[in-house]
Amino acid sequence: MSDPVTGVPFRANAIRALSDSALRAAMRNATETFATKRAETVSAVPLEEWRDQASDLRLRVLDHLSDYVDLFERNATRAGAKVHRTEGAKEAREIIASILRGHGIAKVVKSKSMISEEIHLNDFLQKQGVKVVETDFGEYIIQIAGEGPSHIIAPAIHKDRRQVGKLFAEKLGCEYSDDPMVLAAIAKKILRKEFFSAKAGISGANFAIADSGSIVLVTNEGNGRMCTSIPPVHIAVLSIEKIVPSLSDLPKFIRLLPRSATGQILSSYMSVITGTRKPGESTGAEEMHVVLLDNGRSEIVKGEYREMLKCIRCGACLNACPVYRLVGGHAYDSTYPGPMGIVLTALLDGMERAHPLLDATTLCGACGDVCPVKVPLPRLLHSLREQRVEKGFTSRLEQMGMAGFGMVAQSSSLFNLGQAAAHLLWPIARKIGPKDSLDRIPRPVSKTFRKIVS
Amino acid sequence: MRVQLFGTCLIDTMFPETGEATLRLLRYFGVDVGYPAGQTCCGKPADSGGYSHESRMAARHFISVFEKTDGPIVIPSGSCASMVKNHYPELFRDDWQMREKAEAIARRTYELSQFLVHVLKAHEAGLTGKGKITYHASCQLTRELGVREEPRLLLKSLKGTDFIELPSADRCCGFGGIFMAKMPEISMALADEKVETIMSTGADVVTGCDHGCLMNIADALRRQGSPVKVKHIAAVLAEGLT
Amino acid sequence: MTRGKIIDLFIDNTAKAAAEPVRISSSDELNGVLARILAGSDLIFCPFVTEQEKAIKLSPDKLTRDYTAASACVEEVFAAVAETGSLVWTSQGGKPVQAGLVCTHHVAMVSEESIHETLDDFFSSLGDSPPTNITLETGPSRTGDIEMTLTIGVHGPSRLTVIVF
């Protein structure tokens, strides 16, 4: 975690990442594969129509967000869940901890949840003496490594098989193998025991259904299902903008999420959980808690960045981003990396922390092209750059340079003077100026095009 | 037909030969080209940095220079053309008078390859060229202006030229305007990857519609010791003109 | 879409998701097919909740009531979806949905009538009160978490056979 006052040291992180050839190879492989598979699966469908529908639905919910939250709470309660509405991260963490404490639970199994990363849940619970066992294979790997996720869909994608093999051998005491099948089998065996011995399961939710009070979990491994149907207590944590009006709306998102994330038509497991186990049932938790987290959303929804809340956490923008593809997620030093991460970090953590991340984009626009719900990421990033300037988070030198630019751009005589000066002073500029920029561009000419044409 | 040429600050200051090629090309098709003398910069450098105040200063000047003229405004740069067409009206969203002027200017504006294909039908004119050529599709040109086919149509129409499609042609080269200066390490790494794809085509020349990109790509080619030449599309098309 | 085309689409998509579809002409053939498919499994679990499940015959010495001990799980689906090649399991009737998750080989029996054409068809068939637990299973359990290398059978079954009757 970086010092919140000075902001994320993105450039330094990125430079380090660029010289890590194993990381670069891993990132290239992962993002190319995801992006190619996504492109293949979306080429066969009426994508634009689907994107429009999904975007409209998200906006409809955002327009009446608190009503939908109320509706969800009513219906989830009716189905047997206990709903806890929390403002901030601290409150959410404490409620979860107190639920576990109330049952004397010292170990939980956990299905991958980005919101739990956002509120730093694991650390907090461990400090309270609760063992948290991540069950998603990628999350399990990084938990053992003591790292955070570097991609919102594939958390350990920055590691290659040798690194994972070494990690398992060191931390789990097993024989070294770099065969992913062997490594998966090792994790499966360990985690199988955990599923059956844990007294509580914590999950996120990909979506929450207002009409029925259900939560929806999508995984490829099946661990989401296992965390939520085997232990007697289930705690689901989700932020309020995940709510979708009814089950009949769900297909519109389910068609887009797996295709955009991994290029699959549907992930191997999708679970819809509506409350607690009823009499006569043999599946599901007996006690279910839904922690509905606001954490800034009801403020964001009122402002110019509200469309960011349409995000369905597919990761397509990460895979499309030229910067993310190169440096990976850890360089952003934030819960969410890539284009959606830059925007969310600015909105959730503030400009103080996020301002360097606004340079982690070339504004190429590739992210906006692939977003399944049409979050206008390029426009939001551009607005945030404007906000960064307005709030005074750019350097004095840059501000002065831009002020000079403005003056020169509005006067053709000053502009011509500037061009002549640039030509003449170039040798000096090359000596004293930033070499890594000036060495890469040609000298301004003495006979400008204007002079040729006039 | 008379058009107004906006040379762009990059071409004016560093690549005047592209400006000359643009003139030759337009005149070949019988177009009378005006060059409003007071032009400076479209304001994109300030805009991309989030300096909307300074960006508006440049935009007001551009509008005041060009509103005194008539006819299409032709710009040999995707990012500048997009700045004028898409961003100028946005910049003046709180000033309806300027906004109307901006929209009028935007309606008259064409990026060069747009103009060549849609107005001059230059891709049907039997132009000639030589060698193996590949094309880098710059970001604002592709994603903001929607110009994808036009440059390819023009290049493929050149008799004597072997056009090779660049893999991941529309992937960002790492220029990003001020990004090149603020994040040089990432910029260079992206340019290196772009060069990797260029070299995989076996092309002698890489072309594009934006000098910012071409400048960044040329630097990477130089750093990698590659003999591949970098030419703006105007220069490529004008080369075969007699 | 005609029923015939829906069934074809389902079988096609379930195969694309790496499940093994088997089509039989009537439920009379089921026992023979099951015996063949399950020949290699030592312990088999079946919930015996639906009529079809109750009608199947499996050798008693292979059957177990403890799904955590079974290597194979045979059960009849609640529904299926042709659009995605998915099987739908629910907690209705007291079925332990997790049984099909913890085994190594999951064998699903799907009647032709239970196949919905689209996800929309399926979800609108649920009405106002869905079963407590619904799981859509599309192919066997998998992960690509290490170097994007596909590994089948992480947590869930590594083999999914779908018998359409």
The per-residue pLDDT for C147 is 87
Examine the fold and report which residue of B68, B88, B117 is the final residue of a domain before the chain moves on: B117
Is residue B27 domain-shared with residue B105, that is, in the same domain? yes
SS3 state of residue C142: strand
Q: Taking CA atoms, what residue in A is nearest to C123?
A: A248
* Residues from chain C contacting residue A225 (CB–CB below 8 Å): 97-98, 101, 135, 156
Q: Taking CA atoms, what residue in A is nearest to B14?
A: A444
* Residues from chain B contacting residue A366 (CB–CB below 8 Å): 139, 143, 170-172
Record: contact B186-A437, CB cut-off 8 A = no
Q: What are phi and psi of A283, to 5 degrees?
A: -130, 140
The residues that bridge with C90 in the sheet, in sequence order, are C134
- What are A389's two structure tokens? 């300037």
Domain containing residue B186: CATH number: 3.40.50
Record: contact A269-C146, CB cut-off 8 A = no
Nearest to A247 by CA among B169, B136, C129: C129
- What are C147's two structure tokens? 């170097």
- Contacts within 8 Å (CB) and 24+ apart, A171-174: A171/A144, A171/A145, A172/A144
Chain A touched by B89 (CB under 8 Å): no
Contact B46, B55 (CB under 8 A): yes
Segment B63-82 mean pLDDT: 97
Of C85, C135, C147, the CB nearest to A180: C147
Alpha-carbon distances, residue A361 vs A10, A375, B175 (angstroms): 11, 16, 11
Record: contact B58-A441, CB cut-off 8 A = no
Domain membership of residue B224 as a residue range: 125-239
**Segments of chain C scoring below 50 in pLDDT:** none
Is residue B131 domain-shared with residue B235, that is, in the same domain? yes
The per-residue pLDDT for A4 is 42
Report the C-alpha gap between B145 and B209 in whole angstroms: 12
Render C74-99 in DSSP notation, one character per residue.
EEE-SEEETTTTEEEEE-GGG--TTH
Chain B touched by A366 (CB under 8 Å): yes
Q: Taking CA atoms, what residue in A is nearest to B56?
A: A406
Best C9, C71, C89, C143 member to test A by mutation, with max A CBs in 10 Å, is C143
Give A445's DSSP letter: P
Q: C130: distance to nearest CA of chain A, Å?
A: 7
Of C130, C136, C143, the CB nearest to A270: C136
pLDDT over 50 (residue A1): no
Segment A383-396 mean pLDDT: 96
Record: contact A410-B176, CB cut-off 8 A = no
Q: A218: distance to nearest CA of chain C, Å?
A: 9
Residue B46: CB partners within 8 Å, gap ≥ 6? A402, A405, A406, A409, B52, B54, B55, B57, B58
Domain membership of residue C18 as a residue range: 3-164
Segment A322-331 mean pLDDT: 97
Is residue B144 domain-shared with residue B230, that is, in the same domain? yes
* Residues from chain A contacting residue C128 (CB–CB below 8 Å): 211-212
Q: Taking CA atoms, what residue in C is nearest to A156?
A: C145
Record: contact A440-B186, CB cut-off 8 A = no
Of C130, C131, C155, the CB nearest to A221: C155
Chain B touched by A385 (CB under 8 Å): yes
Segment A387-400 mean pLDDT: 95
Is residue B6 domain-shared with residue B111, that is, in the same domain? yes
Is residue B164 domain-shared with residue B203, that is, in the same domain? yes
SS3 state of residue C156: coil
Burial of A223 (0-12, 13-18, 19+ CB in 10 A): buried
Best A34, A41, A220 member to test C by mutation, with max C CBs in 10 Å, is A220
Record: contact B35-A361, CB cut-off 8 A = no
Q: How high is the mean pLDDT of chain A?
A: 95
pLDDT over 90 (residue A7): yes
In this complex, whether A and C touch, counting 3 or more CB pairs under 8 angstroms, is yes
ipTM over 0.95: yes
Report the C-alpha gap between A69 and A83 in whole angstroms: 11
Q: What are phi and psi of B109, to 5 degrees?
A: -90, 135
If one counts the domains in chain C, the total is: 1
| pLDDT digit string, tens, across residues A12-61 | 999 999 999 999 999 999 999 999 999 999 999 999 999 999 999 999 99
Record: contact A225-C98, CB cut-off 8 A = yes
The per-residue pLDDT for C59 is 86
Separation of CA A164 from chain center: 23
The per-residue pLDDT for A389 is 97
* Residues from chain A contacting residue C126 (CB–CB below 8 Å): 247
Per-residue pLDDT band for A3 (boundaries 50, 70, 90) equals very low
Best A20, A304, A363, A394 member to test B by mutation, with max B CBs in 10 Å, is A363
SS3 state of residue A117: helix
Instruction: Count how many pairs of residues, chain A against chain B, have C-beta atoms within 8 Å.
Output: 174
Per-residue pLDDT band for B12 (boundaries 50, 70, 90) equals very high
The per-residue pLDDT for A5 is 54
Domain containing residue C129: CATH number: 3.40.50.10420
Of C84, C126, C141, the CB nearest to A221: C141
Q: What is the pTM of this model?
A: 0.96
| pLDDT digit string, tens, across residues B158-209 | 999 999 999 999 999 999 999 999 999 999 999 999 999 999 999 999 999 9
Where do the domains of chain A lie, and which CATH numbers do they carry?
1-44+315-394 (no CATH), 47-298 (3.40.50.10420), 396-453 (no CATH)
Is residue B102 domain-shared with residue B186, that is, in the same domain? no
For chain A, helix (H) and strand (E) counts, in that order, are 24, 10
Chain B touched by A437 (CB under 8 Å): yes
Render A23-46 in DSSP notation, one character per residue.
HHHHHHHHHHHHHHHHHHHHHTS-
Q: C32: distance to nearest CA of chain A, Å?
A: 28
If one counts the domains in chain B, the total is: 2
Examine the fold and report which residue of B117, B133, B156 is the final residue of a domain before the chain moves on: B117
Best B6, B12, B138 member to test A by mutation, with max A CBs in 10 Å, is B12
Instruction: Count how many pairs of residues, chain A against chain C, have C-beta atoms within 8 Å.
Output: 182
Chain B touched by A19 (CB under 8 Å): no
The residues that bridge with B128 in the sheet, in sequence order, are B159
Examine the fold and report which residue of B101, B117, B133 is the final residue of a domain before the chain moves on: B117
In this complex, whether A and B touch, counting 3 or more CB pairs under 8 angstroms, is yes
Q: A26: distance to nearest CA of chain C, Å?
A: 7
Segment B121-135 mean pLDDT: 96
